[in-house]
Copies of this chain bind each other. A is one copy, B any other.
Amino acid sequence: MYSEKVMDHFSNPRNVGELPDANGIGQVGNAVCGDIMKIYLKIEDNIITDAKFKTFGCGAAVATSSMATELVKGKTVEEALELSNKAVAEALDGLPPQKMHCSVLAEEGIKAAIDDYHARQ
């Protein structure tokens, strides 16, 4: 049912936790299952230099957030805003259709964190 990459990022998630020196923090909720995602970004000179996440969500939410935080590190703010949940799911070699709603949490969390960063400037 799940790809090897999904199981890898679920069993050994990257970037779990909080970022004490984050300057962009986003929290979003999932309408389908009621889960919560919190994304922490550290942005320097328009580049995302660090990213972490915390979630109460399921394995698919953990795996997509792990992959999404990996993908945005080193990117510009504009590049990160273009990262779609579909692209993250593809980087994980796909997700079952009924779990695609979980991958939206990571995308929306990153967008909310960047919004927060802009609001702080």
Contacts and interface: CB of A to CB of B under 8 A. Distances in A.
Q: How many copies does the complex hold?
A: 2
Contact of A96 (B1, B32, B34, B58): B34
Interface of A: 1-2, 10, 32-36, 55-61, 96, 98-99, 102
A59 to B, nearest CB: 4
Of all A-B residue pairs in the complex, the 10 with the closest CB atoms, nearest first, are A34-B98, A56-B59, A58-B58, A33-B33, A57-B58, A35-B58, A34-B99, A56-B58, A33-B58, A34-B96
A96 B30 CA distance: 14
A87 to B, nearest CB: 21
Contacts of A57: 58-59
